[in-house]
Structure 1
Amino acid sequence: MAATLHEMVREAARLHSGRTAVMFDSGSDSDSGGSSVTYEELLSSGNELTACLRKHGVVNSHILGLFCQPNINLPQWILGILQLPSAYLPLNPEASPAQTLRIVNLCNLSFCLVQCDLLQQFQANYSSSLTLEISAEWPEQNLALVRMQSMISSTTEKALLKTGCEQVQTGHKNESHSSASETTSQMRLAYVLHTSGTTGLPKIVKVPHQCIVPNIQHLRFLFQITPSDTVFLASPLTFDPSVVEMFLALSAGAQLLIVHTVIKRMPSRLARVLFNFHRTTVLQATPTLLRRFGRHVLQEVVLSPDSSLRVLALGGEVCPSPAILRSWRQEGNHTLIFNLYGTTEVSCWATYHRIPESVLTSDHTTTDSVPLGAPLDGTEVEVRDKKGCLVTEGEGQLFIGGRERVCLLDGEVTVTPGMMRASGDWVLVKDGQLYYLGRKDRLVKRHGQQVHLDTVQQVVESLAEVETCAVDLCEGSRLVAFIVPYLGTTASRNIHHRDQASEHADLRGDSVLLPMNRHGISPNASALLFADLQRKIQRRLSHVLSSNCIPDTVLLVPSLPLTTHGKVAMNELKMEYERQRQNTGIQQENLTLDNLQEILAKLWKETLGLAEDVRIQPDSHFLLSGGDSLQALRFHQNINIATGTNSAGLLEVILDGSYSDIWNHITMATIFTEAGLDPQVPSKRKHEGSSSSVLPKKQIHAPPSTTAPETLVEGVLHFNSMLMGYVVRRAGEIIKLGYSDNTVCSDNLKAEQATRSKSFQVEGHKTTEDFNSNPSSTVSERTISKTRSTFTIKCVKDILPSSNDASLQEGGTDMARRGLSLRVLWSSDTGRCVDASPVLLVEHGSSHTATVFVGSHSHRMQALELTSGAVRWERVLGDRLESSAAISVCGKLVVVGCYDGQVYFLRVDSGETWWTFKTGDAVKSCPTVDYVTGLIIIGSHDGHIYALDSLAKKCMWKQNGLGGAIFSSPCLHPPLQLLYAATLHGRLLCLNSVSGVPIWTYSRDVPFFSSPQCSNSCVFIGSVDGSINGFNHKGAMLWQFATSGPVFSSPCVTSSNPRVVCGSHDGCVYCLNCTDGSLVWKFQTTGKVFSTPFVFESPRGQGTLVALASTDGTVWVLNAEDGTVCASASLSGELFSSPVVWEHMLVIGCRNDYVYCLDLNSKEDSFRL
């Protein structure tokens, strides 16, 4: 059996001397049928060239450069070089001179064969860097021999080569299977190539005959190549599959078809040349090259029922999915399709897989990927993990080698037989098969999750609207899909029509200026068609890809530019993306309010995949319109790009605000910035009773008593001396501190007296009596029990305010009968919006003081005297405060989360820092105190729940929320030691409150902003899908109540009866039966209800009441029995903060930057503030 490439050709030539060996088609109409060479002529011309080379001093072991274009003489030139024997080094005439010079120097090239037609170009490119001497010219061969010598000292280059060689040899010692080695002189080289250099400088690869010959012999057997076959030379000489294509044909007596380089760039003409003129039977190509034909030509010509193509071998890139391959074939086609895999470093192919006919004809395949298949003869493959251990199931990097399948890289002069080379490709081992995942450098982390770019590309290509595509990261993190639309679309036909016009221009050699950018998109083409197609593709992708895999940008192009190796020229596509970005930058200079509105609407619709004619309502919420957190991030990035700004807080507005909020935010960040105004300060009215406007945001200064956030208190807090009093928090929670019974009261001191005389069963927690009746339940000093007032609720007709006066809404005669009103006692300016809910600490004892703790977006944390609003202390923390505070079990610390990712533990009496704990992202969740263990439990946008011990100053445990940031606040059920938390990825988790171990999880497709609240038997939560839900403590859903809008409000659980009260963005407050979720009553407000209701006992003897706020600035007090209005008042700003009530005082934060204390009194008048 022949041991070298040229020996295989000589054997075939002896058997088939009269048959056509080579056919060349220039594509010219005058060159009908092309020119051809028989095997006898091929052998004769090759022998002639070998003799000429020897005559001019080119002897054994030289590497000869070959500077030429594909033509009829190419095989005889290669044969003549191999017979010296020497190796050939193809040099690409279209490559940059600098790259070619580097290759020449690295290979120490002394001679180069130059096609006579290209001699002048060769001299012009390299005469300034190389000493060139034309040693001989052979017109009959159309070839010249050029002697070369570098003009630049090669000392440095040689030193580098030597160093590289030593490093490689040292590194290979650990990978060898044998101590034996072979030198270059022992290994007869066939050819020398260089890698593409896409991930660094190109590597030189020297390929011996013993490495490539088994490849060709095995593939010739698999493809059943016979003398009647026609094999197309699809690959350029610099790409090693060209060796396989050439010698598959010439070693079997078959015909090798070569076409002019220009024809390869013209898909339609190439298809005619291959399948109409020459009836090609064997085609080896990259998937990208094949996709250039387009789906129509593939179905009607290449893979039609009567196609001449017998074998299609795809390699060099990830193989298209079975679904895509099926879309290329017409029913009745019998072409055998192979998936080939290999690397240039172990030239050429390593594995093969013949795709079964059943896979190509069935729509019900079990996989979306085609396996890499089995190793070719003489090849060994193995998969190793990052530690170098063999992988038999799972992911790892593929290594390739074999005893004789070894090449020399760069400066290597010695090689170890059996060496295994790292491929740089990641694969999945599953059920004994290898599945390609992607290049190591194409496995990226995006939004904290691993993304396989090649897998994303396959999914995009599977869409009916997509002909082909390329996917890559631009600007480091933006995922961009460059898509060639399917020819069946009108927009695509417009693009491709112009692209075909440019094909004819290439053939004539003329320069045709078309009204389009360099990729063929005409400014006069219908922008609506393109925009509609882009939106349709984005919408489809949102259904088939996970959020972290959806491209940030879809860019339509008429075709994918190719490298000389037939792969996607990604650098060219990225340049096009940059040009688009620059065009956007130019547009930013002419930004106005009008076109800013157009831009925002366009980006909103594109991100959400909405139709162009969809009308966006000002109160539309991004998440409720079908978006998710990752789409919000994409929307945020696109706005920044379009406006040329990087507006702080924009992402939070997108997640939490309405469309109008987003519009206001970016308007301030762009237009007002250009006018020299503070983009973060909305224009506002003066506060009533104040002689000046609210302080501008950037003029906020900490008072003298403020300490820096990082300052920690020296000394020790005396936790053994517990404060006695009450903590009042949102959702009607009142915690009694420092008393022997440690109860949580329903409302306030007066309500406490009333509830003690009543007989009721506690709903939400066991009473002290419940614990005493159960010997196994022990109540420590920190044990807490909750009690609620008893009241009867009847279902009556909803009562709506009859007055159109927004300043005061009264419930007709019913309100007059009750005689309640709200008026402002005091207000405190925090400097920016107050979305956090206040927390009250009422201390008993000689002072009997009550303090309001509340944070603001101004970074301020204020401690205010409840009765007067006087500032006890104020701290400026590290970032914005949206989290409501909590009071530690000892009553000595106030705990609050911050946008800077810190959880601050501040002293109640002075505001000094006791401790800070750093999480991985912003903290918007409100802390919850476990009064049994003393732990502070809080969620973070980093996706974790933390249990913090303020005394020990350490984290006792943390638990991952199983994906998604945690916005809502945790909820405790102390008797059962259960902790509930919800995430923005739609998960409701139940954990063990002591250990943090998950007990059960409930998942939904929409995020949870609402905080869970629990009773003795149930846990309740609202969802942005518009529902209020009840679960038992084992995780089973008991009921679901549908509102007409998303639910951001958190439920407030009442005690006896029992009831749950919750608001909705439909503007209603709902009172539901806890047992079955049935509606007891509902009340329609004049805005939306984001905040949490507060159920309390009236200090004026009017029974049980519900305090709530609507986003239009209205504070409402309702009768808890029937939902009728008792009082209301309007504040001059939006309300997202939840009210808290103590005695006759209601405290709430407002987005006009103030904290208000309202007096609930018996007067029948009311006020507009």
Structure 2
Amino acid sequence: MLLASNSDVIYWGTPLTFDPSLVELLLSLFHHATLLVVPKLVALNPNYLYRALFQVGCITFLQVVPSLLFRFSHEHIANMLQSLTLKILALGGEPFPLELLEYKINKALKIFNLYGISELSCWASIFQVPHYFNRDNYIPLGDPLDETIIELFSENGQKIENGIGEIYIGSKSRFCLINNDERLQESEFLVNTGDLGELRNKKLFYRGRKNRVIKHFGHKVNLDHIEDVIFKNTGLKSRLIYSNEFKKILCFVLMDNYDNKNRKQLIDKLRVKLIKILSENEVPDFIDVVSRFPLNPHGKICDRQLKKYYQNDSVRSEDSIPASEAFLSILNQYLCIEQEVLLGSLIKHTFVQLGGTSLAAIQVLSELQYKLDTDNLGEFATVLFNNSIEACLLYLKNMKLKQRRLNKLEPLQKKSNSGILNCDNYIIWKYDLKGCVDSSPVVFKKRESVYIAVGSFSNIFTITREDGTLYFKFVFPAEIEAKPSISPCKKFIVIACGNGIIYCIDLEKKQIIWDYTTRDKTRSSPCIVGTSVIFASYDNFVYSASIYNGNLIWKTELCGGVRADLIFNSQSSIIYTGTIKGNCYSLTEQGVINWSYKINGPVFGSPCITEHGIIWASVTGTVYCISSAGDLNWKFETGTNIFSSLVFVENALYFTAHDSCLYRLIFRENQCEISEKIKLDGEISTTPFPYRYENTLYAVCISNMGVLHIINLSTSDIMFRCSLPSESFSSPFVFNNRIYVGCRDNNLYCIDFKKAIKCKI
């Protein structure tokens, strides 16, 4: 169908983290075709990229996500569709953009709609789109490729021959087994895609994601369907989002070149139109126009960023925001470095030196274009990568922008949540670390004095005293996200730095006594065992080094990098850790692997040791109990994402999850069951801290929104809730009736537990 040959030039532009990149590579190798690769700076700049692909490289094959294709200007898209060299335009990863068919298309150009999933094949079906299709037609997903089965099933598992159901993709000859899947013996291998499809006249049409079907006023609403209706009736592309926080449907409509003076009237007309063409339950609660959709690193529309636009009342202002001010604000958002720091000691540093990556650059440029209402930032992409922050600010100051002058997105006021208090009345002290404090603090006592250790994204690591005064501070070469580790003798503290280096500090001398460099970033907390420091890295290795001089004792290769903290069972002298590839390991003190067990999903939280076995949780939401011999005792499905570490106290297992709940599991013979599921405020990625006060066991949790909770675990009542000024991804630590927790407003907070628990909410 593609008729590729050795005369073809294939653009290799898909990120390596996105599996279609392998199709581009292998297609080129198989047909001895030319593979065109461009520098990062060219790929980031649509004008440069167009010239590289169609004026210099003269590509014949382009595979792209529709959202990335529409980063090119209308003129460039029109030209490429009329190009005499481009033979194949393959679109996938998102619904086919019907507006593309409104352009005049070269008769020799073949346009394909691709569909597939990573679990089996990103190219599972293909449909050649006839040039006569128009926006009143739906584009089918096409025919399955060789050795591929595509079927539709209802919610109760019945195969559908005509109607709407979930799409399943599989094969009778190709099996893709992931995370201990035990279906090898089945004659037919099928994977549920999470996509809705409609079979009509033996043709399969995409009908959106299952998780894009939400409940609104008690009725099921398909957000993809609303987008289709808006496009068919207005010709405007839109993005619909459902905000769980505000319980509202948000509608962002893409529109160019309109008079900002008539913006309100335009939105009013849109609303009237939508009221007429949509059912009562489908009408969006919020409508606004945008000049461009923000993109995620894979080139798809970023819903999370659109939600931020809705929530943030400073995204736009009535008057034009200075370009340099907008740039500093965006750098703070993506690099977590305060403006005063950027304008001070870091102004001579480059974006890359501050931790910026090519993916972050795409997001920064996209966001800057949006805030400044412009399609053209000139040579700024080159300046951003090659020059200092000072040079970037000077360039933006002198640059003349062609702005569309969009008005701000009007944010709705956040509803006041009954019972959520302002934290100001409960703060004993706070300490500014000049960058987001995602690291979890550690509290330790040394010679009757209490100290709190924590790191930040500003590269600053501090140890403060119990009264909030500084004991000492270090500035490391990179961010500190992992929790620090204290030696049992309280003489040493070990820190994992984001640059892949482990540092050991002598607490008495207040100086670094050694460091050890791994081959990739380090995000997990080290474990101190006797005179050894055990630590892990994203380079797939676990290391052991002497705590006195950092000399390597042993290192052991695992399958996957390590994000979760390592734990040590002192009774059996066993080290446990899990990897981002879902492998759970038991190792001896000498680094010998006792066993490994593959679970379904990455491991981000630490396991816990119980008399029933070692309990692990996968990010995909399954809790596993594995025996000390490495055998599965049982597993438990939560149906949500788990980033929390597991805590075992008083014969119950506690953890938080992204469904905004604190879970308590209890054990029954050779299985477990939910004893309690306590609803909190917002998604939670951090670990609960159990704390006993006046003979009552409490749990202290903080949600990603920054709401701190104190829960009575005997009654399951929420005793206290207060809101920090910003988000939090720092697990709290409670000591001497004080709660210590980091926040993304750059502060470490000390909150009065005793005062909070006596508060009436």
TM bucket, shorter chain: 0.5 to 0.7
The corresponding residue for 1:837 is 440
The higher radius of gyration belongs to 1
Q: What CA distance in whole angstroms lies between the structure 2 residues aligned with 1:1158 and 1:1073? A: 31
The corresponding residue for 2:749 is 1156
**1:1024: Cα distance to partner?**
2.2
Does structure 2 conserve the Cα–Cα contact (< 8 Å) formed by 1:967 and 1:983?
yes
**1:1008: Cα distance to partner?**
2.0
2:27 maps to 1:474: no
Give the letter aligned to residue 1085 of structure 1: L
Correspondent of 2:114 among 537, 553, 561 = 537
* Cα separation, partners in 2 of 1:531 and 1:539, compared to 1, 3 Å: farther
Measured against aligned partners, the alpha-carbon deviations of 1:529-570 in whole angstroms (never above 9, x if no partner) come to 86999895363566326xxxx99xx99999xxxxxxxxxxxx
**1:1110: Cα distance to partner?**
1.2
* Cα separation, partners in 2 of 1:1019 and 1:697, compared to 1, 3 Å: farther
2:487 maps to 1:924: no
Measured against aligned partners, the alpha-carbon deviations of 1:548-605 in whole angstroms (never above 9, x if no partner) come to xx99xx99999xxxxxxxxxxxxxxxxxxxxxxxxxxxxxxxxxxxxxxxxxxxxx99
1:355-370 to 2 correspondence within 5 Å?
none
SS of the equivalent of 2:499 reads coil
Correspondent of 2:474 among 875, 884, 888 = 875
Correspondent of 1:942 among 514, 539, 542 = 539
Does structure 1 conserve the Cα–Cα contact (< 8 Å) formed by 2:478 and 2:499?
yes
Give the letter aligned to residue 518 of structure 1: L
Does structure 2 conserve the Cα–Cα contact (< 8 Å) formed by 1:899 and 1:924?
yes
The corresponding residue for 1:1140 is 733
Give the letter aligned to residue 855 of structure 1: G
SS of the equivalent of 1:679 reads helix
Correspondent of 2:675 among 1080, 1085, 1088 = 1080
* Cα separation, partners in 2 of 1:942 and 1:861, compared to 1, 3 Å: same
1:1083-1094 to 2 correspondence within 5 Å?
1083-1094=678-689
1:366-377 to 2 correspondence within 5 Å?
none
**1:907: Cα distance to partner?**
2.1
The corresponding residue for 2:232 is none
Correspondent of 2:714 among 1121, 1136, 1152 = 1121
Gaps of 5+ in 1: 1-286, 293-315, 319-441, 462-467, 486-512, 559-603, 621-641, 684-692, 703-801, 810-820
Give the letter aligned to residue 698 of structure 1: L
The corresponding residue for 1:1031 is 626
Q: What CA distance in whole angstroms lies between the structure 2 residues aligned with 1:1151 and 1:555? A: 48
Correspondent of 1:904 among 493, 503, 510 = 503
TM-score (norm 2): 0.54
**1:1046: Cα distance to partner?**
0.7
2:332 maps to 1:681: yes
Does structure 2 conserve the Cα–Cα contact (< 8 Å) formed by 1:822 and 1:1159?
no
Correspondent of 2:484 among 878, 881, 885 = 885
Correspondent of 1:1008 among 570, 594, 603 = 603
Does structure 1 conserve the Cα–Cα contact (< 8 Å) formed by 2:659 and 2:683?
yes
Q: What CA distance in whole angstroms lies between the structure 2 residues aligned with 1:936 and 1:651? A: 36
Give the letter aligned to residue 584 of structure 2: L
The corresponding residue for 1:420 is none
Give the letter aligned to residue 947 of structure 1: S
Correspondent of 1:516 among 72, 82, 104 = 82
SS of the equivalent of 1:1078 reads strand
SS of the equivalent of 2:331 reads coil
Correspondent of 1:957 among 533, 554, 568 = 554
SS of the equivalent of 1:696 reads helix
2:401 maps to 1:806: no
Q: What CA distance in whole angstroms lies between the structure 2 residues aligned with 1:662 and 1:803? A: 19
Q: What CA distance in whole angstroms lies between the structure 2 residues aligned with 1:901 and 1:446? A: 22
* Cα separation, partners in 2 of 1:1120 and 1:660, compared to 1, 3 Å: farther
Give the letter aligned to residue 421 of structure 2: S
1:185-204 to 2 correspondence within 5 Å?
none
Q: What CA distance in whole angstroms lies between the structure 1 residues aligned with 2:303 and 2:594? A: 33
Give the letter aligned to residue 637 of structure 2: A
* Cα separation, partners in 2 of 1:952 and 1:1007, compared to 1, 3 Å: same
The corresponding residue for 1:864 is 464
Structure in which a larger fraction of residues adopt strand: 2
**1:921: Cα distance to partner?**
1.6
1:619-630 to 2 correspondence within 5 Å?
none
SS of the equivalent of 1:948 reads strand
Give the letter aligned to residue 449 of structure 2: T
Does structure 1 conserve the Cα–Cα contact (< 8 Å) formed by 2:623 and 2:637?
yes
**1:514: Cα distance to partner?**
11
SS of the equivalent of 2:120 reads helix
The corresponding residue for 1:300 is none
Q: What CA distance in whole angstroms lies between the structure 1 residues aligned with 2:462 and 2:449? A: 16
Q: What CA distance in whole angstroms lies between the structure 2 residues aligned with 1:661 and 1:899? A: 29
2:426 maps to 1:823: yes
Measured against aligned partners, the alpha-carbon deviations of 1:1062-1111 in whole angstroms (never above 9, x if no partner) come to 0001000011114532112121101112110111221xx14222111112
Give the letter aligned to residue 883 of structure 1: A
Measured against aligned partners, the alpha-carbon deviations of 1:1107-1133 in whole angstroms (never above 9, x if no partner) come to 111122121121222322232322111
1:685-700 to 2 correspondence within 5 Å?
696-698=340-342
Does structure 2 conserve the Cα–Cα contact (< 8 Å) formed by 1:483 and 1:555?
no
Give the letter aligned to residue 985 of structure 1: K
* Cα separation, partners in 2 of 1:454 and 1:826, compared to 1, 3 Å: closer
The corresponding residue for 1:1019 is 614
Does structure 2 conserve the Cα–Cα contact (< 8 Å) formed by 1:672 and 1:679?
no
**1:897: Cα distance to partner?**
0.8
Give the letter aligned to residue 633 of structure 2: L
TM-score (norm 1): 0.36
Query: Percent identity over the alignment?
Result: 20
Give the letter aligned to residue 457 of structure 2: H
Does structure 2 conserve the Cα–Cα contact (< 8 Å) formed by 1:673 and 1:679?
no
**1:943: Cα distance to partner?**
2.3
The corresponding residue for 1:984 is 580
Q: What CA distance in whole angstroms lies between the structure 2 residues aligned with 1:999 and 1:1062? A: 27
The corresponding residue for 2:256 is none
2:685 maps to 1:1064: no
1:205-216 to 2 correspondence within 5 Å?
none
Measured against aligned partners, the alpha-carbon deviations of 1:133-180 in whole angstroms (never above 9, x if no partner) come to xxxxxxxxxxxxxxxxxxxxxxxxxxxxxxxxxxxxxxxxxxxxxxxx
SS of the equivalent of 1:680 reads helix
Q: What CA distance in whole angstroms lies between the structure 2 residues aligned with 1:952 and 1:918? A: 13
Correspondent of 1:456 among 26, 31, 47 = 26
* Cα separation, partners in 2 of 1:919 and 1:971, compared to 1, 3 Å: same
Q: What CA distance in whole angstroms lies between the structure 1 residues aligned with 2:322 and 2:457? A: 22
The corresponding residue for 2:98 is 528
* Cα separation, partners in 2 of 1:1038 and 1:663, compared to 1, 3 Å: farther
Give the letter aligned to residue 896 of structure 1: I
Does structure 1 conserve the Cα–Cα contact (< 8 Å) formed by 2:566 and 2:606?
yes
Does structure 2 conserve the Cα–Cα contact (< 8 Å) formed by 1:471 and 1:482?
no
SS of the equivalent of 1:896 reads strand
Correspondent of 1:1104 among 693, 697, 701 = 697
Give the letter aligned to residue 583 of structure 2: R
Give the letter aligned to residue 872 of structure 1: Y
Q: What CA distance in whole angstroms lies between the structure 2 residues aligned with 1:515 and 1:1107? A: 58
* Cα separation, partners in 2 of 1:966 and 1:617, compared to 1, 3 Å: farther
Q: What CA distance in whole angstroms lies between the structure 2 residues aligned with 1:1150 and 1:1071? A: 26
Measured against aligned partners, the alpha-carbon deviations of 1:32-89 in whole angstroms (never above 9, x if no partner) come to xxxxxxxxxxxxxxxxxxxxxxxxxxxxxxxxxxxxxxxxxxxxxxxxxxxxxxxxxx
Q: What CA distance in whole angstroms lies between the structure 2 residues aligned with 1:976 and 1:985? A: 26
Q: What CA distance in whole angstroms lies between the structure 2 residues aligned with 1:680 and 1:939? A: 30
2:676 maps to 1:1051: no
Gaps of 5+ in 2: 44-52, 54-58, 64-78, 103-109, 132-207, 213-222, 229-238, 246-290, 316-320, 347-415
The corresponding residue for 1:322 is none
Q: What CA distance in whole angstroms lies between the structure 1 residues aligned with 2:309 and 2:581? A: 25
1:539-688 to 2 correspondence within 5 Å?
539-540=116-117, 543-544=120-121, 615-616=240-241, 675=326, 677-682=328-333
